[in-house]
Amino acid sequence: MGRRQVSGDARKIARERIVILFARAGQFFPSYSEGSDRCVALARRIAMRHRVRIPRHLRRRYCRRCGAFLVPGVNLRVRIRRGKVVATCLRCRRQRRYCLGRRSNGQTHDT
């Protein structure tokens, strides 16, 4: 007792829970955006605890600064300029830029 088994399974489950939490965040939104934000916060905590990365497509769905669950056209303004996507969180005004088309995969340091 006491010693928890740390295996690949735990991380796999953590990843699945993150995906589920984001799906739930989407269901809460927009009627209960606080619930959405809480799901995001929980997902981030799980990711941190298990040292797993939040899947790339989900990383665009929340704001790293204020933790808001982001929905394009609602609290996320998305503009495309010269082949680049400029996404602005309308809660804290943080901007993020992505490249369009090309999948840049420069930030993987997964163990």
102's torsion region: left (phi>0), alpha (psi -120 to 50) or beta? beta
89: contact with Zn ion by CB under 5 A:
yes
Is residue 100 part of the contact set for Zn ion (CB under 5 A)?
no
Q: Does 90 bind Zn ion (CB under 5 A)?
A: no
Per CB under 5 A, 92 contacts Zn ion = yes
Label residue 93 left, alpha or beta by phi (over 0 means left) and psi (-120 to 50 means alpha). left
Q: What tokens appear for 78 in the block?
A: 């998305």
Q: Give the residue, chosen from 20, 23, 66, 100, that forms a contact with Zn ion under the rule CB under 5 A.
A: 66
The residue ranges that bind Zn ion (CB under 5 A) are 63, 65-66, 68, 89, 91-92, 94
